[in-house]
Chain A
Amino acid sequence: MQQEERSGKFQTIVAVLIALVAVSAAVVAWRSAMVSSAASDAHEEGIINTVKWEAAATEDVRYLYQEADYANMYVSLMERADLLNEQATRFLGEGKADEALEAQAQALVYQTLASNLAGFSPMTTDSRYRGEDGTFNLEARLADLRAENQDLVDLDPAASFNEADKRLAESRVLTAMIVFLTGTLLFYTLAEIIESRLKYVFVAVGSMTFLGTLAAVTIAEAYFLLF
């Protein structure tokens, strides 16, 4: 009678332990789902930031070449004016006053056109944007254009993708822990249905697995929270 009573108590304790494992598995599954959802959010944010970054980068390049077109037109007109002025000087030296005057007039037209274009891009006037050979330093101008949009410079899609990867890794670890909790259920169930003393061994092994899994879940969560 006493043995039956003891057995009944044992079965009740094991049943409670089984219920605890089931609840723990449900909590871990819930947490895994939450983490997985956070990973999806981070991924979505990464994609949105990538679109923004690419759009901004492309717009900067488009604007750069718009400026470069004006700047090229400017240098082309200025060069034409210089060449005509050189010709005018030569004509004057040769005593061809009419030709010199015509060349100077043409040069003036081109100079005026060029000076009207100068305001369209700082590349026409700022020496920082000109190389030693007179060509434009487009990289320097692009860097300055990008720096003007600090919000877009600060966009970091890689950070969002790293966060998504981290969350997915966390979700994977938590799902793996559910397998161990199911293993715990096996040991507890065996303890529940076995009559021999072996049931105590199963309870012990099951409890170690259970506690070990809970510790692993806690460590994993702390790790993913801190790093």
Chain B
Amino acid sequence: MEQLEKPVEEKPRGRFRFLVTVLIILVTMLGAFVAYLQTDASIKEDKAIQRSQELSIRTMGEILRSGMDTSHDLRISTDYTVYMMESVMQQMVAQQLRAEGQDELAVRFENQAAVWEALANYLRPFSVLLSDPRYATGDEFAPDAAQYLADSSAAAMAMLAEQNEAAAQADLWGNKADLYVSVLTVLAISLFLYGLSLALSTWIRYLFALVGTIVAGACALWTLVILIG
């Protein structure tokens, strides 16, 4: 009876259980490692999102402020242009009056023209657009507005480019984190198959263990592909 209690099949079954137990632990370790990679990818995604959000807010503020700078400069430039036009118009009227022999009236218009011109010139240094040699092209009515606008929005544009880069990084790491979650889900199937193989006593347990191993192997390979990609 004692010999019957130690059947010959027990040893292969014991070895099988041992092997499957080791495999379960290895798959658990792989799962923990993938979970770490998933956390790492999520952290990188979070940091990129944080940077992207921060930069989008700062870009918005910068655009608003540079818009105010530009409006201020343009207002002074407009005043300058209006004053100069006023001066030119008064001079033209004065010339017309002189041609008609009304010298006294012409002098009054010339005086007014001189006041407007002096006033316009007084305003010049108040506007970057009119006083900065980068934009004051020599033609007082047509400063280099394109260059001025490009320069005034340069900081905001640089921030926008950085924000786009951060958003792209967030997408990249978010996708990786999602893929690691998929790997973990499939790894759970592998563990289920191993568990089932331990519960069964017929030959099918080998099939379950084999499929479980194939699934786990595929998961390891998939993890490697995500890690490298």
Question: What residues of chain A have their CB less than 8 Å away from a CB belonging to chain B?
Answer: 32, 39-40, 43, 46-47, 50-51, 54-55, 57-58, 61-62, 65, 68-69, 72, 75-76, 79-80, 83-84, 87, 99, 103, 133-136, 157, 161, 164-165, 168, 171-172, 175-176, 178-179, 181-183, 185-186, 189-190, 193-194
Contact = CB atoms under 8 A, between A and B. Distances in A.
Given A76-B79, A79-B119, A171-B39, A178 B72 contact: no
Interface string B74-89: 0110010000000000
Nearest to A183: B29
Interface of B: 17-18, 21-22, 25-26, 28-29, 31-33, 35-36, 39-40, 43, 46-47, 50, 53-54, 57-58, 60-61, 64-65, 68-69, 71-72, 75-76, 79, 108, 111, 114-115, 118-119, 122-123, 125-126
Given A76-B123, A172-B40, A182-B28, 7 more contacts: A47-B57, A57-B61, A175-B35, A176-B36, A178-B35, A185-B28, A189-B21
Contact of B58 (A50, A133, A181, A185): A50
A11 B115 CA distance: 105
B220 to A, nearest CB: 14
B115 A83 contact: yes
Given A61-B68, A171-B39, A176-B36, A161 B54 contact: yes
A82 to B, nearest CB: 9
B115 A87 contact: yes
A190 B46 contact: no
A99 B71 CA distance: 38
A172 B68 contact: no
